[in-house]
Amino acid sequence: MFDGTQNKILNATMSLIIEKGYTATTTKDIAKRAEVNECTIFRKFKGKKEIIIAAMSLPEWNPCLREEDFKYTGDLIKDLCSFSEVYLRKVTPKMVKISLGLRSPDLYDLTKDGIKEIPDTFKRVLVRYFKKMQELHKLQTDDIESLAVAFLAMNFGFVFFKASFGDELTELQTKEYIDSSVRHFVNGIGR
Amino acid sequence: MFDGTQNKILNATMSLIIEKGYTATTTKDIAKRAEVNECTIFRKFKGKKEIIIAAMSLPEWNPCLREEDFKYTGDLIKDLCSFSEVYLRKVTPKMVKISLGLRSPDLYDLTKDGIKEIPDTFKRVLVRYFKKMQELHKLQTDDIESLAVAFLAMNFGFVFFKASFGDELTELQTKEYIDSSVRHFVNGIGR
DNA sequence: TTATGGTGCAAGTAACCACTTGCAAGGATG
DNA sequence: CATCCTTGCAAGTGGTTACTTGCACCATAA
């Protein structure tokens, strides 16, 4: 799909966007990091924006969540842990940084739908799952919308914090966080 | 502190940063929106960066959470609802958009500490509160770090989604979300 | 060998950036 | 009235941006 030179350019571009954002990343920066002459960039891609479009077509830079990836058994804790694992395996701090770095007026139309689709998909999965669990009388609430949004926020918030502050806000690692947040989510915290 | 012209410039700058981010906001944009000549900006402020510094000194553009703002009674649900209300009254979608728009390499040193202090403060409040509740045997868990991070993420995630997608991801409004997310957080969802 | 395609290099484009300057108009203050 | 002070206006600064072009080099393949 892309040759060696193109891949060097793609990788250089995305790693710079993670660090500085799209607008602040110049084609000179990209050329330097890709160890390529600047004019080569424009021989390989129509323009700066085209590099982003090309990169977004690769799964490496575009975490596409699919509903089929989320499987469940009927055990609330087990299922929600598994959901979180799938979500957090795709929505990594790196991906969050990219989606933040891509926030630019002239990329908005290009990226908006793709970015929104990720929480949309996860929420859809959660709503469907909670409805099913409710039918099986495994839930003590009928406010499924809130449940889904809260669980989604709990997961996204964690990865956002990791992306923004590394381990400075909390040293909890993904696996421990999933286990305990899901356990608390299901069992509650009060006695 | 600032005269009329300076305030017009400050408001124009921050509203543009909400929309386009710092790097993509030009002084020409600012002048136009502030209905001021571009050179007036540089008569009133040393440079573009100084405008941000000035704005950040105003509470209107810089949500400073204080630990004293968080009061509690000992009733888990009531207290956590009140915590969320305080947090979400300061950390609005507008504020989130600003902190995202301020992510720029040449502003990093300037903004990083201020931005990180908000989740830091809220987490500190939560940890202290949960420890107290644990001493009173009102918690069924001793994993306070996870609890605090999860509750923080649940709140931040919500306002981030509102900032990014408006009502498109969920039509839940802040008040309803607080009530039900806190209730579920305390009581759990499984039966 | 010859031809071809990819690349580096140097130079240059027009547009845009933050920022500056000199001057004149106007409003408030003495 | 005389004096500031603020602002608009027009023009311009040097630097940077995305993007271009012409030429030489070189490895590969016919």
Tell me the DSSP string of A128-140.
HHHHHHHHTT-BS
A49 CB contact with strand D at below 7 Å = yes
Interface of A with B in 113-132 (CB under 8 A): 115-116, 119-120, 123
pLDDT band for position B189 (50/70/90)? confident
Q: Quick check: B155 and A161 in contact, CB under 8 A?
A: no
**For the stretch B55-66, what's the b/e string if a residue is b when 16 or more beta carbons lie within 10 angstroms of its beta carbon?**
bbeeeebbbebe
Q: Does position A191 have pLDDT exceeding 80, yes or no?
A: no
- B24 in reach of chain A (CB within 8 A): yes
Contacts of B191 (CB under 8 A, 6+ apart): A137, A138, A139, A140
Contacts of B36 (CB under 8 A, 6+ apart): B5, B8, B9, B12
Digit-coded pLDDT (tens) for A76-113 = 999 999 999 999 999 999 999 999 999 999 999 889 98
pLDDT band for position A190 (50/70/90)? confident
Mean pLDDT over B65-84 rounds to: 96
**Which of A104-113, B21-30, B36-45 is least confident?**
A104-113
The C1' atom of D19 and the CA atom of A44 lie apart, in whole Å, by: 13
- B109 in reach of chain A (CB within 8 A): no
Distance CA A100, CA A94 (A): 10
The C1' atom of C21 and the CA atom of B39 lie apart, in whole Å, by: 10
Q: Which nucleotides of D are covered by protein (CB under 7 A)?
A: 6-11, 16-22
Mean pLDDT over A3-22 rounds to: 97
> Mutation test of the interface with chain A: which of B117, B189, B191, choosing the one with the most A Cβ atoms within 10 A?
B189
Residue B190: the pLDDT is 74
> Mutation test of the interface with chain B: which of A97, A138, A146, choosing the one with the most B Cβ atoms within 10 A?
A146
pTM of the model: 0.95
- For residue A149, the chain B residues in CB contact (below 8 A) are 158, 161, 169-170, 172, 177, 181
Q: Which nucleotides of C are covered by protein (CB under 7 A)?
A: 6-11, 16-22
Q: Quick check: A102 and A49 in contact, CB under 8 A?
A: no
Interface A-B, measured as beta-carbon pairs within 8 A, has a size of 197
Q: What is the DSSP string of chain B?
A: ---HHHHHHHHHHHHHHHHH-TTT--HHHHHHHHTS-HHHHHHHSSSHHHHHHHHHTSTTT-----GGG----S-HHHHHHHHHHHHHHHS-HHHHHHHHHT--GGGHHHHHHHHHHHHHHHHHHHHHHHHHHHHTT-BS---HHHHHHHHHHHHHHHHHHHHHHTTSS----HHHHHHHHHHHHHH-SB-
Q: Does position B71 have pLDDT exceeding 90, yes or no?
A: yes
**A103-109 contacts, C-beta under 8 A, 24 or more apart:** A103/A21, A103/A22, A103/B21, A103/B100, A104/A21, A104/A22, A104/A23, A104/B20, A104/B21, A104/B24, A105/B19, A105/B20, A105/B21, A105/B24, A106/A49, A106/B24, A107/A22, A107/A49, A107/A52
Mean pLDDT over A23-27 rounds to: 96
Helix axis angle, A48-56 to A108-135, nearest 10°: 20
Contacts of B183 (CB under 8 A, 6+ apart): A141, B77
| A37, containing H or E segment | none
Q: Does position B191 have pLDDT exceeding 90, yes or no?
A: no
